[in-house]
Structure 1
């Protein structure tokens, strides 16, 4: 299971709202060589930190990617570079840590790999504390287990709480027999 966090809180380079940029990023991930978008969570909104900064709310979601038939699992560093390439196409700059952004793609998990270094660290080192990651992850795979902590996404979300995180739009359609909702990125 390849999980990617998607987030944005600034308009894209073409002026598109953050939500539209996130949707377009999902389409771009579906076009990565050897991978396909298997499922996409609902979108969630979260206030920017620090509170009172005046920055727009973040839009967040999680994508589930899978190797295309016959393709090998991606190399973590190569996948991170591909995700950063998508960020760059959507105008991502990094002026300082946690700066507002046009797009943020975080590699959250790659088939349960434990990788303390080099980048990307896997699983993502702070995902277990971030309700804005865990809430959309629970849409896709509430029983997913953190490879280092052994706790499910649902258990981690219960511990983190939902304070400040709100769903945007409608709930997902029921999942298929395998537990994942098929999506069409278009």
Structure 2
């Protein structure tokens, strides 16, 4: 049995921040995970992802087999690390969805994010709203506004009084401001 780990965390003071620039692209990776399934599923996911992410280097693509008792299942993780943020797009396998379809959807989402200068993708954007509200405000850019973001903003305002505004911009990233 592993020894327990004890950590003391001293809370820091939260302050509003602006996350408008993600910085330069540092690295990309695509990892096909699978457990208790045929290896060709992971291979097909990566082959499809390569088609939709043609600028990614060959060594960015990897297969990782997990112990059989962790499955059956599969997932494709696409990771783009920038100076100030990391965007991860994940496709989870499910019955009736081909490896190619899973990879195509995930790769399209990542390619769409990479084609913009947005700080956060749509699935990160709704997660940033509460920390920004607790910190007293701030702003960030995102690819598109999701219904999750709009709902989260409404609930956060009801509980904290912090208002979120969404500035939809044509042809570029959208600005989200929490005040």
Question: What TM-score, normalized by structure 1, do the two folds share?
Answer: 0.27
Higher radius of gyration, 1 or 2: 2
Higher relative contact order (CA 8 A, sep 6+): 1
> Normalized per residue, which structure has more strand?
2
- Alignment TM-score, normalising by the size of structure 2: 0.28
